[in-house]
Chain A
Amino acid sequence: MMIGAFARTFRHGIHPAGHKEATEHLPVERMPFVDRYVMPLGQSAGAPSRPVVRAGERVRRGQVIAAPAAFVSSTLHSPVGGTVVGRGPGHHPSGQLVDALEIEADPYDSQRLPAGEAIPWRELTDDEFVTHVQHAGLVGMGGAAFPSHVKYKLPAGKRVRRLIANGCECEPFLTADHRTMVERAADVLRGLEILGRRLGAEEAAIGVELNKADAIAALEREIAARPLPGLPVRVVPLKVKYPQGAEKMLIDAVYGLEVPAGGLPIDVGCLVNNVGTLASLADWFDRGWPLIERVVTVAGPGVARPANLLVPVGTPVRAVLDHCGGLSAETREVVMGGPMMGMPLASLDVPVLKGTSGLLAFTEVETRLPAEYTCIRCGRCVEACPQFLNPSRLARLARAGRWEEMERYFALDCVECGSCSFSCPSGIPIVQLIRVGKAKLREQRAKAS
């Protein structure tokens, strides 16, 4: 085991308290099936999927219910066996109304999904492989839900030399990836193997923060037990720091490489995948299981019984929270995702999505807005910003509505990790102001073109 002081990391960033004690040792348990599921057609980046089932039609668990509408678009599968009861506007966790399919579970269906035949992935052409991943409905499970097959379709002339598995899980409270690495280390490595071979990677690294010693041990055991000829895989223990799980920060931490501003990891020969995504990749190619369920950490001071749950996509948030003993009377806010970048829910009647890593319930203590003072230019946000920006200046420009100037100070490079707001002693909503500026800049760009 490496000593913490010598572990690698990226530059800048913050050290929020981990809050992972409540769930990091809890094995993943299956969320019981409920009556109704809602599948928004636009769950991931790109074009919403096109439904291929009609109301009243019976569907099997894992059956395709919506096909991709374009290349940057994903496949949706029914999370349960049952009946499609309708298509209509449903509430997306973002608060918007989106087109969705509603499925009623069949109470007499066993909901078992027997493993199918393995797919001979070595024999596929590159394009066939990409199409297969699209059919699996695979998206980035770290939170962004970007369709994975788009990432695997390499631009001409680019190649992946280094494949990185993202096991940082730097967001406080969340332990879904942690448990996946501990309980499914073999599948994570299998996903890494399939992807590494397919993309022709020279080596693979799994970046894991030091607060997950059991995950590091489990992965190292698995690597030792099944070495991959020609594809060296190693676990890279990383210091505990936020936002290490951001793609560009992770590449800097593991390999000391800077992805150019506005560029992609492929520009430095890297490709990053969340460990949960890799395990799901193995599920598809080894067992024929599409992405229809995921691990969700349910935690926070407002939750009676914190847990790591294997939840079918489309399960209403309310049902998941009820399964965990419900919310305490002190709960004020429920967040989907992590506390640093997650999305607050306006209603509990929204579904768990493919990108839902956590459901956190916060009370008055966590949600109270800090008293705001003027900026005293203490520089804490500058020292925190992993993109080396000057957040205090960007916030000031945003307040003044000086959008063009914000762009000159690289506002569009901001990854919205929130480290600035976290560290500001004056309680200034820095990242929130920068978000406004970025939205305005995009609006102007859209108008201009």
Chain B
Amino acid sequence: MSAHSPRLQVHTSPFLRQGVTTPGLMGDVLLALVPVLAVATYYFGLSALLVVAAAAAGAVGAERLLGPKGAIRDNSALLTGVILGLVLPPGLPLWMAFLGGVVGIGLGKLVWGGLGHNLFNPALVGRAFLQAAFPTALTTWPVPTGLPGLHASSFAAPFLHGEVDGLTGATPLNLMKFAHEATPLADLLRGSVGGSLGETSAAVIVLAGIFLAARRAFDWRIPVSVLLAVAVFSGALYLVDTGRYASPLFMLLSGGLLFGAVFMATDPVSSPLAPRGAWIYGAGIGILVVLIRTWGGLPEGVMYAILLMNAATPLLERVDQPRAFGRGARRTIA
């Protein structure tokens, strides 16, 4: 008796896979962003959702039209768009958000050769472009209005800014920088303060970060080193003069620091791969953030800090060669 004799395939080993996929990893980050988006919508109204949707539409559209065939399936363009939307002001005209998405994917990713090849975080390239092109719109911060809030400015026709209706206010960092006035920490934790959409609830962002670290969707060393560096550096300054410098807790919880540390500095493509490089990279971001916030002309510095360290990533990779097993003097003698 000779049993069934199939036509045999011949692959090479290994025949097992872990089952984690790149679109799945992107999906994890998108999932972690859902509560952040929910809180943003709760405080800033439907305009928040619309801004994120417009940025995502721009990013996905650009990838679809200009990107390699089928690239849309890896979810990365959608993720870039959503992250970009969350670092924009709530009342931003939607056409600007859309344009930011297009530029982020186009100039931030596709011209470099697509996913995996870009030097800078594409969402931040989009934001840097918008900041340069529309400085006023990018620094107009409506005060949190609550759920229904739709800003008329959202619907400004292309190439027009529209008037921001209702109240605008200063962000906690603006207050700190220009009026030396601190915002209550509880407000920062909850997120009921002015700022970009994703700059809101510190508590939700920290939880999302813990979720992502547990799923191994990013290198936990990066957010940890960013926050440690900010805490240590700003803590030292605070000890020098408590009146002049912001407290480290305020530094950690305000502005885009947490969002940037968890969702943007951790973009694997634009950050170092090896552990030691990740520590240096994260610490560099933290130090730059404190430098810019304290002595720079801008109230906020997370975007430039991350972009600068993105640029340093290839250098860090070159310097930081991990020691191969059995090479070097360690532990070869009984």
Contact = CB atoms under 8 A, between A and B. Distances in A.
Interface of A: 14, 16-17, 95, 161, 172, 248, 255-263, 267-269, 318, 321-322, 325-329, 331-335, 337, 339-348, 360, 362, 366-367, 369-371, 373-380, 382, 386-390, 392, 409-410, 413, 418, 421-423, 425-427, 429, 431-432, 435
Lowest 3 A-B CB distances belong to which pairs?
A326-B3, A418-B14, A374-B116
A331 B6 contact: yes
15 contacts: A172-B16, A248-B325, A255-B334, A260-B327, A318-B5, A332-B9, A339-B13, A344-B13, A366-B15, A370-B17, A373-B115, A380-B20, A387-B324, A422-B16, A425-B24
Given A339-B14, A422-B18, A387 B325 contact: yes
A173 to B, nearest CB: 9
A321 B11 CA distance: 20
A259 B216 CA distance: 30
A427 B21 contact: yes
Contacts of A326: 3-4
Contacts of A362: 15
Interface in B307-326: 321-326
A161 B18 contact: no
B23 interface: yes
Nearest to B1: A322
A335 B11 CA distance: 10
A377 B268 contact: yes
Nearest to A161: B334
A332 B76 CA distance: 33
A318 B2 CA distance: 8
A154 B271 CA distance: 48
Contacts of A259: 326, 332
Contacts of B13: 335, 337, 339-344, 418, 431
A374 B109 CA distance: 13
Contact of B17 (A329, A374, A422, A435): A422
B330 interface: yes
Contacts of A429: 12
Contacts of B219: 379
Given A337-B13, A378-B268, 15 more contacts: A248-B326, A258-B332, A259-B332, A318-B5, A328-B4, A346-B10, A370-B17, A373-B23, A376-B25, A376-B116, A380-B20, A388-B323, A392-B273, A423-B18, A425-B22
B8 interface: yes
Contacts of B322: 382, 388-390
B197 to A, nearest CB: 25
Interface in B43-60: none
Contact of B3 (A248, A325, A370): A325
A340 B14 contact: yes
A335 B18 CA distance: 19
B269 A410 contact: no
B180 interface: no
Given A16-B16, A379-B268, A426-B22, A268 B116 contact: no
A422 B324 CA distance: 20
B74 interface: yes
Contacts, number: 184
Given A329-B6, A376-B115, A378-B268, A339 B25 contact: no
A315 B22 CA distance: 43
A261 B116 contact: no
Contacts of B14: 339-341, 418, 421-422, 431
A386 B322 CA distance: 12
Contacts of A14: 18
Nearest to B75: A373
Given A318-B2, A342-B13, A346-B8, A376 B21 contact: no
A95 B322 CA distance: 38
B114 A413 contact: no
B271 to A, nearest CB: 8
A288 to B, nearest CB: 36
A208 to B, nearest CB: 22
B224 to A, nearest CB: 15
B244 interface: no
B117 interface: yes
Nearest to B20: A425
Q: B16, B273, B327, B333 — which one has the most chain A CB atoms within 10 A of its CB? A: B16
A376 B271 CA distance: 10
B69 interface: no
A311 B323 CA distance: 43
Given A257-B331, A318-B2, A376 B268 contact: yes
Contacts of A248: 325-326
A210 to B, nearest CB: 20
B325 A261 contact: yes
Nearest to B271: A377
Given A339-B14, A362-B15, A376 B269 contact: yes
A139 to B, nearest CB: 20
Given A373-B22, A374-B114, A392-B273, A333 B11 contact: yes
A240 to B, nearest CB: 15
Given A390-B273, A422-B16, A422-B18, A257 B8 contact: no
Contacts of A421: 14, 17
Interface in B261-308: 268-269, 271, 273-274
Given A269-B334, A435-B12, A377 B269 contact: yes
Interface in B19-38: 20-25
B70 to A, nearest CB: 9
Contacts of B1: 322
Q: A258, A343, A362, A427 — which one has the most chain B CB atoms within 10 A of its CB? A: A258
Contacts of B331: 256-258
A390 B116 contact: no
Contacts of A371: 21
Contacts of A382: 273-274, 322
A267 B24 CA distance: 44
Contact of A344 (B11, B76, B332): B11
B273 A327 contact: no
Given A340-B16, A410-B324, A370 B9 contact: no
A268 B6 CA distance: 47
B324 A389 contact: yes
Contacts of B327: 260-261, 410, 413
B10 A344 contact: yes
Nearest to A427: B21
Given A347-B8, A367-B11, A261 B324 contact: yes
A402 B15 CA distance: 27
A231 to B, nearest CB: 18
A338 B111 CA distance: 43
Nearest to A95: B10
A329 B7 CA distance: 10
